[in-house]
Chain A
Amino acid sequence: MVNIKINNTNVTVEEGTTILDAAKAKNIKIPTLCYYPDLDIKSDCRICTVEITGQKGLVTACSTPVRDGMEIKTNSPRVLNARKTITELMLANHDANCTACEKNMNCELQTLANTLGIDENRFESVLEMQELDTANTSITRNPNRCIKCGRCVDVCKNVQGINVLESMNRSHEMFISPKYGRYLSDEDCTFCGQCSSVCPVASITEKDDTDLVWNALDDDKKHVIVQVAPAVRVSLGEEMGQKPGSIVTTKMVAALKQLGFDRVFDTDFTADLTILEEGNELIHRITEGGKLPMITSCCPGWINLVEQQYPEIIDNLSSCKSPQQMFGALAKTYYAKKENIKPEDLFVVSIMPCTAKKYEAAREEMSADGKNRDVDAVLTTRELGKMVRQMGINFDQLEEIEFDDPFGITSGAGAIFGATGGVMEAALRTVSEVVNEKPLEKLEFESVRGLEGIKEAEVDLGGQKVKVAVAHSLSKAKQLADQVKAGTSPYAFIEVMTCPGGCIGGGGQPYNTTNAVREERIRATYQVDSDMKLRKSHENPVIQKLYEDYLTKPLSDLSHDLLHTHYHKRRT
């Protein structure tokens, strides 16, 4: 332990603690910008600069460990002037048209400028307006707002292992973009959107599709239905000012009704359906000597990675569509027919924690009739939050409404799809009961839960010990993919989710997602599951009825037509 003084207050902290953490422990807030919990310390922005008695220069609190006897001033006039100057320098090279920015009132740079009391910029604007990257369906990059903090580069390179975003060039001509200023769509971007999630300003955001949805809702000829992904109910609350881990399922349904959706359905339903299809596919592959390990295919960022960088393992992917696309296909066929709506008059919206889902919905294969999209628009959790605010809905005062029939009856197995390990656990609940022909004694597969990067478990399937693995974040997924590619994978079944923590940590989730927040959302996810009466997908009566009435049985011809797809190599 070392003894230090922060603003004349004695503080005792562990050796090696940074000044930033030491101050935090004493409730002293030092502003930061390039710093982001769980990411590397970059110390590039220099905003968290503090003064140390006896030292000429200022030091950055994020990167400087405390020394015994250190006397730190976090708010001296010299420090405040430095922070102000640095912020003005950033603003002089930033498109600071705040009222025309989606992060107005929610922007870290704006908050900083406000807190520091910057009322004029002493420096002249040196901003040279650049073209926006709007060339893809998922993510918009606005270089004019970039403050070069490097968070996106860090998350793309070190968390995801993708290396699409880079710091190019030098001096004030330094810019962050894909190589040589190319478009994201020119590179192996998986559209995971983690960059948008950590961007302190609105330089990287999801492509805004709210207008598309507002227009559909306003169109009398359209029957507009919406599906909501499992992870949204445990995170939308944060958009509405509630604390992380709040479960807002019923208020969310009520809000969607107020927005004007004709029916509000649950993607958990098609998550259950995915389990029946994928579980049976796994049993089939194990018993018939098919390609193993089988790897989940629910996650579009992961699919993009495989198609771009691991084409050799495409056959290892489950042929199942994701729950979003199973829902879309069923909506445009089964539901349209049942409700007697022409498919072209049906508009399907999905609310996803994800930016890659926008890409997935736009894929050519995702069309039941070969012409029109199965899912017409995908909104992120953040975009839904925006629409709720635009509508002026008082979220906390909403009544509690349940999902509509028929795609609103779901199981806890579908609900846990939102957390890393959830698809694996849901599949194991069903597969082991089907294969072992007896009910599970314990439904919880604890070993596949939690934020550990790669998790393993061994399960007994009909007397056979089978190894499974779960990875989240693409850098970890790549480790498992490399094994599969090399033929050394010891697993029969692998679950991959692109984002850290799974979909609850998705690129379209509310800002300020940190591991602490992820933990809360995960806890809430398992709470949703344990609160449910139905907890196994194969016991969902509506799923059973869907097979009886329509699909006949898992992996049937119709199932293959509607619920399965093919993946293919894209660029190398």
Chain B
Amino acid sequence: MEQKLVSKRFDAINPLSIDDYLESGGYETLKKALKRDRINIIEEIETARLRGRGGAAFPAHVKMMGIAKEEETTRYIICNADEGEPGNFKDRHLMEKDPHQFIEGMIITAYAIRATKGYIYIRGEYDKAHSIIEWTLEEARKKGFLGKNILESGFDFDIEIRSGAGSYVCGEEFALIESIEGKPGRTRVKPPFPTQKGLFDKPTLINNVETFANIPHILEMGGEAFAKIGTQSSTGTKLVSLSGNVNNPGVYEVPFGVPIKDVIEKLGGGSKDGRKIKMVQLGGACGPIIPEYMLDLTIDFDRFEDFDSKTGAGAIIVMDERFDVFDVLLRVAEFFEHESCGKCTPCREGNLQLVKLVEKFINRRATQKDLINIESLARVMHHTSLCGLGQTAPTAILSTLKYFRDDYLDLIEHPEL
């Protein structure tokens, strides 16, 4: 069931050894790419229909083509390695177990869009990944894959590492850009988009680690072959971070289209001690909570979108019957209440009110009116917040209102009124 593409070298090579990477065919794609026409590379990615792996599932080639067409010649490329979403740890694996792979993807992408400088923004808490990447960049530099005149191609490009202090919102592209610029991590108004005015107001391509990791594979096998993996709307494979009450939590790579149930049962070894699964949160704290009977749902960007949520980062958090919906909701609400940047009203004030409302239910002080209010507030936050954080913060509440409504009604003082 697993199909290993970006995880094929996991545990098979010494991640600190560039020779291991080279022996397994590493940087071969870069060598070829540097001889290719730049636009042709972007078209290959278009053929592959690669969509961003960080959560928003935006077509990768659109951003690349957007920058390629900008007049400004100073262009930046950023790898978003600020994997702060609870329940996600696949980017950590990519960085710790095969660090050259996504860096190769970054260099190829940089070449294609004529980026002048790259940044890898690593989550503040990822100390190990940070030191590995530092080492890896140095090794790549020594071999001439980074720096001036890469492999005699005339292309100059180097990468710097940046880290924040652990703020969740810095995974949001503009908050991340502000953070690299040395400012507080708060998002900006769009438009202009990063591809138009990003880092230091220059055109900037910002992609997730896994998105970059896919680039060498696409060029190697060709966009058409890549597009045959997965489903019509979601091509290729997805790294899934499986956690919670399962026997074998971990990172698994599956082609798109696999049912969530299979990931839990076949790869995760099912729930611990055979307990009944009560609910599964998809994507992380920002994702929907679905009941056990919906686990036939397949991993597919568009299936998730039907759901009114963006769950592309690929976390599956399994919770068995010992857990209560409201335990999860309170944790999630408090998480977002703490992590909101405070810039826009719905997110700044709304998350605090969501905590208050969830507490009201937990303390059995909620009324029918509160049920209406929490739903209305969650919807308004989803529709009006400035960035993804505020827009997805109420997803857990909206999904449980749909699938676990009885759990709410049970806690209302006089539900009959």
Contacts and interface: CB of A to CB of B under 8 A. Distances in A.
Interface of A: 41-47, 49, 56-58, 63-65, 78, 81-82, 85-86, 89-90, 92-93, 122-124, 126, 147-148, 167, 169-174
Describe A's contact surface by its main secondary structure: loop
A167 B345 contact: no
B189 A90 contact: no
Contact of A92 (B308, B353, B383): B353
B345 A171 contact: no
20 contacts: A44-B343, A56-B308, A58-B384, A63-B189, A82-B380, A82-B383, A86-B345, A89-B346, A89-B353, A93-B352, A124-B356, A148-B345, A167-B186, A171-B339, A171-B340, A172-B337, A172-B348, A172-B349, A172-B351, A174-B348
B157 to A, nearest CB: 33
Nearest to A90: B345
The 4 nearest A-B residue pairs measured at CB: A174-B342, A89-B349, A85-B380, A172-B352
A58 B386 CA distance: 10
Interface in B363-393: 369, 373, 376-377, 380, 382-386, 391
Contacts of B349: 89-90, 92-93, 123, 126, 172
A50 to B, nearest CB: 10
A126 B356 contact: yes
B181 to A, nearest CB: 15
Contacts of B344: 43-46
Given A86-B346, A86-B380, A171 B189 contact: no
Nearest to A147: B345
B353 A123 contact: yes
A3 to B, nearest CB: 20
Nearest to A91: B349
Contact of B345 (A44, A57, A170): A44
A171 B353 contact: no
Given A46-B346, A170-B167, A171-B339, A41 B189 contact: yes
A81 B348 contact: no
Contacts of A126: 349, 352-353, 356
A328 to B, nearest CB: 44
B384 A171 contact: no
Contacts of A173: 342
B218 to A, nearest CB: 30
B154 interface: no
B370 to A, nearest CB: 9
A157 to B, nearest CB: 12
A57 B383 contact: yes
A249 B69 CA distance: 59
Interface string B182-203: 0010100111000000000000
A171 B184 contact: no
A230 B246 CA distance: 78
B345 A46 contact: yes
Given A124-B356, A170-B340, A148 B348 contact: yes
B350 interface: yes
A187 to B, nearest CB: 18
B384 A46 contact: yes
Interface of B: 167, 169, 184, 186, 189-191, 308, 337-346, 348-353, 356, 369, 373, 376-377, 380, 382-386, 391
A172 B341 CA distance: 8
B342 A65 contact: no
A44 B343 CA distance: 6
A82 B384 contact: yes
Contacts of A148: 342, 345, 348
A285 to B, nearest CB: 42
Contact of B342 (A56, A89, A90, A171): A171
Describe B's contact surface by its main secondary structure: helix
Given A46-B385, A167-B186, 9 more contacts: A42-B189, A43-B189, A47-B345, A58-B384, A82-B380, A86-B384, A90-B349, A92-B349, A170-B184
A57 B356 contact: no
Given A85-B380, A172-B337, A45 B345 contact: yes
Contacts of A78: 383
Contacts of B376: 81, 85, 122
Contacts of B352: 93, 126, 171-172
A169 B342 contact: yes
Nearest to B356: A124
Contacts of B385: 46
Contacts of B190: 63
B348 A65 contact: no
A65 B192 CA distance: 10
Contacts of A86: 345-346, 380, 384
A465 B348 CA distance: 58
A185 B284 CA distance: 46
A148 B347 CA distance: 12
Nearest to B352: A172
B354 to A, nearest CB: 10
Nearest to A175: B342
Nearest to A89: B349
Contacts of A124: 353, 356
Contacts of B350: 89
Contacts of B348: 148, 171-172, 174
A169 B185 CA distance: 10
A87 to B, nearest CB: 9
Contacts of B169: 170
A171 B337 contact: yes
Contacts of A56: 308, 383
Nearest to B341: A170
B384 A57 contact: yes
Contacts of A123: 349, 353, 356, 373, 377
Contacts of A169: 342
A158 to B, nearest CB: 14
A477 B410 CA distance: 65
A513 to B, nearest CB: 24
B326 to A, nearest CB: 19
A238 B412 CA distance: 53
A101 B97 CA distance: 61
Nearest to A45: B345
A167 B184 contact: yes
Contact of A81 (B343, B369, B380, B386): B380
Contacts of A57: 382-384, 391
A288 B377 CA distance: 72
Contacts of A41: 189
Nearest to B305: A56
B350 to A, nearest CB: 6
Contacts of B184: 167, 170
Contacts of B382: 57
A170 B386 contact: no
A264 to B, nearest CB: 46
B48 to A, nearest CB: 27
Given A43-B386, A82-B380, A126-B352, A171 B338 contact: yes
B194 to A, nearest CB: 15
A60 to B, nearest CB: 8
A170 B184 CA distance: 9
A122 B340 CA distance: 22
B337 A89 contact: no
Contacts of A93: 349, 352
Contact of B340 (A49, A65, A172): A172
Given A170-B341, A171-B340, A46 B386 contact: yes
Contacts of A89: 345-346, 349-350, 353
A126 B376 CA distance: 19
Contacts of B386: 43-44, 46
A148 B386 CA distance: 14
B155 to A, nearest CB: 35
B368 to A, nearest CB: 13
B54 to A, nearest CB: 19
B417 to A, nearest CB: 17
A81 B379 CA distance: 10
